[in-house]
Structure 1
């Protein structure tokens, strides 16, 4: 309110008005000084992406199936002023990977940017297609954007029981890809508390810390991999310097990729082609059975055990 002193009008603010102005100033400064982080996580379906995000954001909600794209966010307040200083936006994509580029386009990116490619280690036949498709789309989409990539190997609790040679082969491929794309690597499992705790720490450092900080390092395939970007070498991996095609050929030479059944074939198989509905139902049931067989991905040890059982039966 104005008041006159020696013929000069001066404006004085009441305590409530002053408090409002100070709050506005604090909020403005907080916005200028705030840290914004964006995390995009994609990869295999049903590998535990939602569970990991909920653990990071400390949500107790039961994870539900992600249809296409889910958005979450987290905030961390300053201990000094109580004004939010850090905001973390998390985008989870679980749709068709062929549409990943189109989905990424409208996502606003500002501040720190991290991309997580989460693969299902229990499905060794699917790993290559997932990791190749994701990384090619990401690098093409964000050519002029600064970001960091982290490859997360999910379901390690299953993978650790696989045949040693298969584990070594898969880990060699993942290390090669990480070195080629300058990516971090961690193995994860929601069923193993130490791995879950480490994954939460990594996400917390991305969202509210100083970036991805991996204190430990392990390149031994008999244990969960944890490899900070730039810390591995071709010599340590045990293979010559390789490009993407060479890494791919080396991997699929021993692990046949999952059979990709086209949607057109699926539609044809499920069209009504018999006069009796019961025959169509049986046909669809048989189709699903054949598809499951084509996509079945057993551990090598289980496969060999099965062959031994078959041989034993034939001998009798």
Structure 2
């Protein structure tokens, strides 16, 4: 709180410290709570990363729908432990509607997203990233639109906070489009990715650098290597428990990338990896769309049928069993009825209501 004796310079210093360390607003003795949603490729390593962040020696299990866990950390000696809520969305892009469950108007100020992309599947990379981020962004924007009516100060604070990742004198300040809440992009399975042709690695690395910088996000490549997992953990601990933000940077495409938000630039990233003639033929309304077209020229997206699960053996006639098939049909009808009822009840719920 400002004192009557504070000079303008004192107030300015306090404001800078407040913006750099928003957790300092938490009064001594209070518990700070933050939430993170992990999403990304199916079997991309999200659970492994969460367990490593929480220092749990468990064998990862496949994530079903939306799963929750939490962790506790103390910011200082003898201080109460802060709480971080970890949500994990399973199923890749098949359960997009569940994104709106954990992110609400009550916690949006302390919410972050970690997008885990499987580097070993570049043909699925852009579609996975685009679908998940688009649905999340649309949902958060709806929450912010409501807050602008009920609490405009908070809405303005959230928008400005994401702009603060770049200094106003940064040459890209007006060229980027920050994600509405803090975002970390993790490229997983670097050990497999490292075996790719060097030119392909450069295209993927350069593209993810652009996307991360454009969204005001942090970027890190990781694998099961303890050293790489520690780097990812450092970024996540910053979001979850307010630990100091790392200022180290690694942009060498022959090594795992590590770029905290705001420490990259379009001039260092360079133009999209394509010839001038190819770029001239591509029609794009935004820089992001141009990079998408260039990336998908090298890594064509898989068709929707390729991304579907394998054929259900229960519907294969060679495994037909009359009595079992009758029971299965009854259960399928029950499941379909449950889905209809659940869908109705979900539509009636307002997860963003104040």
TM norm. shorter chain > 0.5: yes
Q: Please list, as runs of the form range in 1=range in 2, the aligned pairs for 1:96-245 lying within 5 A after superposition.
A: 96-108=92-104, 109=107, 111-143=109-141, 144=144, 146=158, 147-190=181-224, 192-210=225-243, 213-239=245-271, 243-245=287-289
Partner Cα distance (1:180, 1:138) in 2: 16
Q: Which moved more, 1:193-202 or 1:249-258?
A: 193-202
1:55 pairs with one of 52, 55, 80: 52
Residues 172/87 of structure 1: CA separation in 2 closer, same or farther (3 Å cut): same
Q: Which moved more, 1:256-265 or 1:236-245?
A: 256-265
1:87 pairs with one of 58, 76, 83: 83
Partner Cα distance (1:186, 1:277) in 2: 46
Partner Cα distance (2:116, 2:312) in 1: 32
- 1:271 deviates by 4.2
Q: How many residue pairs were aligned?
A: 244
* Max Rg structure: 1
- 1:104 deviates by 2.3
- 1:264 deviates by 9.1
Cα deviation 1:269-302 (Å, max 9, x = unaligned): 9745x6x658xxxxxxxxxxxxxxxxxxxxxxxx
Q: CA RMSD in A?
A: 2.8
- 1:101 deviates by 3.7
Partner Cα distance (1:263, 1:176) in 2: 26
SS state at 1:97 partner? coil
Equivalent position of 2:303 in the other structure: 259
Equivalent position of 1:288 in the other structure: none
Cα deviation 1:23-42 (Å, max 9, x = unaligned): xxxxxx877x3211111110
Residues 82/249 of structure 1: CA separation in 2 closer, same or farther (3 Å cut): closer
SS state at 1:253 partner? helix
Cα deviation 1:70-128 (Å, max 9, x = unaligned): 101011246555633x1100001112525324442354525522100000001111111
SS state at 1:189 partner? coil
Partner Cα distance (1:233, 1:264) in 2: 37
Equivalent position of 1:10 in the other structure: none
- 1:228 deviates by 1.7
Unaligned runs of 5+ in 2: 1-26, 145-154, 159-180, 273-284, 321-354
Cα deviation 1:4-33 (Å, max 9, x = unaligned): xxxxxxxxxxxxxxxxxxxxxxxxx877x3
1:39 pairs with one of 36, 40, 46: 36
Partner Cα distance (1:233, 1:78) in 2: 32
Residues 277/197 of structure 1: CA separation in 2 closer, same or farther (3 Å cut): closer
Cα deviation 1:191-222 (Å, max 9, x = unaligned): x22101212222222222246x2331122211
Report whether the alignment pairs 1:247 with 2:291: yes
Report whether the alignment pairs 1:65 with 2:62: yes
* TM-score w.r.t. length of structure 1: 0.69
Residues 113/163 of structure 1: CA separation in 2 closer, same or farther (3 Å cut): same
* TM-score w.r.t. length of structure 2: 0.62
